[in-house]
Amino acid sequence: MRNKEFDFIIIGSGIAGLYTALLACDVGNVLVLTKGSIDECNTRYAQGGIAAAIGRDDSPEVHFQDTIAAGAGLCDTEAVRILVNEAGDRIAALIEIGVPFDTQDGEVALSREAAHSRPRILHAGGDATGERIEVTLSRAARAAHNITIMEHCLATEIIVRDGVARGVIAFDSQAGSMEEFRAPSIILATGGAGRLFKLTTNPDVATGDGIALAYKAGAEITDVEFFQFHPTALRLPGIPPFLISEAVRGEGGILCNVEGHRFMPDYTPDADLAPRDIVARSIVAEMRKTGSDRVFLNVTHLPHQTVTTRFPHIYRFCLDHGLNITKGLIPVAPAAHYMMGGVKTNTWGETNIYGLFACGEVACTGVHGANRLASNSLTEVLVFSKRIIERAIGGATAKSAVEERHFTLRKYDTSRITTPLRLAILQSLLWDNAGIIRSKEKLEEAALVLAAWYDTLQTPTDRPYYELCNMVLVGRLLIEAALIREESRGAHFRSDFPEPSPQWEKHVVFRNTP
């Protein structure tokens, strides 16, 4: 007989879910629900590392300024202050758990990434940071006596009564049965939604489930138009996009086009170390200019030992596919990578539904604004996961001070739409119409098709269809937000509104109204 009552239910098993579970198990019984195995998550693929101002020539204030600059006017300053001030303590906690960060001369090694003005990126195993953290946390969670982990169990509904989250209904995909679990604190840690797009660095599990769950339950969803496209994903025939870390350019990697020209200085004084949105759009412009589907990242001028020891996973992956990056150029192109928006929370991880929290990529704490600063995502998880547990056992609340505009999904006449709903068609539609460069015409085309699909969705009976339904809903939210925001800001670029507008220095917020 399965236990049905817990103090905490955590949905997701990446770093957000597992770290929160380890904090929560000190004060109560914890259930971790994960739709796949405990090891299926975005965390495993995080190569760059964790940002924290712990270097001698660094400070939380400098880290704050870098984060605000990258966020393009939409960061919540209070949330950013919390992030930069508490990052050091959370790093110490990870070290205490056993995460083996790389060291140099007896101290934690720090590297620099794009848009950071100081070296402040901690890494483990070179470019294996996410995997090392995930393995360490997974081992600790499995060993904890009051953490129950249910794998292959997909959350399908958050039970809300009288404005309070009461529990979760989940589909056990192995048994083919529905289960109901109850807890006073429900924590979403489901990760992102990169699988919405044809080209993505995300694993297959990143289908936006948490956003769909929260929206259907009545939680507020914000900033979903800001989807970050990583500028450098490996581009080889027949090989899914493989992340080539931001840290490669931080170590001195140089972008050049198919003609061998170093092009980034043509677009920005920051050159190869510009924020991701600028680099991604510059690469798109360069590919169009040269009629190619790729550019190249050059690290052949770096010492052989630097490349192989700092980026062992990248080096080995490329070598396994016939490319020695110490001798040849790395073909790269942008791919969908990280969702800045998500389930709206305050600085304690609370949503507008009492008892429902969110952390990690599924949440929008306001830290990232319109464009996430590299390696701030893992830092955000550590800082705000701890605050969620503090709040759940009693603490203060806080509200965002940034202006908001509330919306609902629009209704469309979809009677003439005959496009069949298929995963590949959905991913191509989002990539082509809501990718790196957007326009009203293409967004409206996609909005109509997605609305038609949404109207025809059936009751799911298996995991793939549950995921497809969630992706249709999240795709609609993304498209509608991108249509509403008639400007270009951060990762959101409209060719018909190519400049930022002061009147849009505010958040687009959706809430489901029955």
Q: Kindly list the domain boundaries of the chain, sorted by start residue.
A: 1-226+340-394, 230-334, 408-510
CB 37 within 8 A of CB 71: no
Per-residue pLDDT of the chain (514 residues; tens, 9 = 90+): 466 999 999 999 988 999 999 999 999 999 999 998 876 655 555 566 899 999 999 999 999 999 999 999 999 999 999 999 999 999 999 899 888 899 988 889 998 887 899 999 999 888 788 888 888 888 899 999 999 999 999 999 999 999 999 999 999 998 889 999 999 999 999 999 999 999 999 989 999 999 999 999 999 999 999 999 999 999 998 999 999 988 899 899 999 999 999 999 999 999 999 888 899 999 999 999 999 999 999 999 999 999 999 899 999 999 999 999 999 999 999 999 999 999 999 999 999 999 999 999 999 999 999 999 989 999 999 999 999 999 998 754 555 555 677 888 989 988 888 999 999 999 999 999 999 999 999 999 999 999 999 999 999 999 999 999 999 999 999 999 999 999 999 999 999 999 999 999 999 999 997 6
Distance (Å, rounded) from C-alpha 203 to C-alpha 168?
24
Using DSSP bridges, classify how beta strands 30-33 and 8-11 pair: parallel, antiparallel or unpaired.
parallel
Q: Tell me yes or no: is domain 230-334 CATH 1.10.520.20.
A: no
Structure pTM? 0.93
Distances (CA, A) of 118 to 53, 130, 185, 249: 8, 21, 38, 14
pLDDT for 45 equals 57
Angle of helix 440-455 relative to helix 423-433, nearest 10 degrees, comes to 160
Query: If you ran DSSP here, which 8-state letter would residue 438 be given?
Result: B
Q: Which tokens sit at 166?
A: 């009461």
pLDDT for 40 equals 64
CA angle in degrees (0–180, nearest 5) for 464-471-404: 155
Strand partners, 154: 171
pLDDT for 46 equals 56
List, in order, residues 6 or more apart from 52 with CB less than 8 Å away. 63, 87, 88, 90, 91, 120, 122, 379
Catalytic residue among 90, 132, 249, 276: 276
Using DSSP bridges, classify how beta strands 153-161 and 147-150 pair: parallel, antiparallel or unpaired.
unpaired
CATH code of the domain occupying 408-510: 1.20.58.100
Through-space distance between the first and last CA atoms of the chain, rounded to whole angstroms: 36
Q: Which tokens sit at 503?
A: 């009147």
Q: Tell me yes or no: is domain 1-226+340-394 CATH 3.50.50.60.
A: yes
Q: Where are the alpha helices (DSSP H) in 98-200?
A: 129-143
CB 339 within 8 A of CB 228: yes
Distances (CA, A) of 25 to 147, 202, 266, 287, 500: 6, 29, 52, 50, 45
The per-residue DSSP string of 425-460 comes to HHHHHHHHHSSSSB-HHHHHHHHHHHHHHHHTPPPP
- 489 included as an active-site residue: no
Using DSSP bridges, classify how beta strands 330-339 and 342-344 pair: parallel, antiparallel or unpaired.
unpaired
Q: Select from 252, 350, 352 the least CA-distant residue to 306.
A: 252
Strand partners, 492: 489
CATH topology agreement for domains 1-226+340-394 and 408-510: no
Q: Is 164 helix (H, G, I), strand (E, B) or coil?
A: strand
pLDDT for 1 equals 40
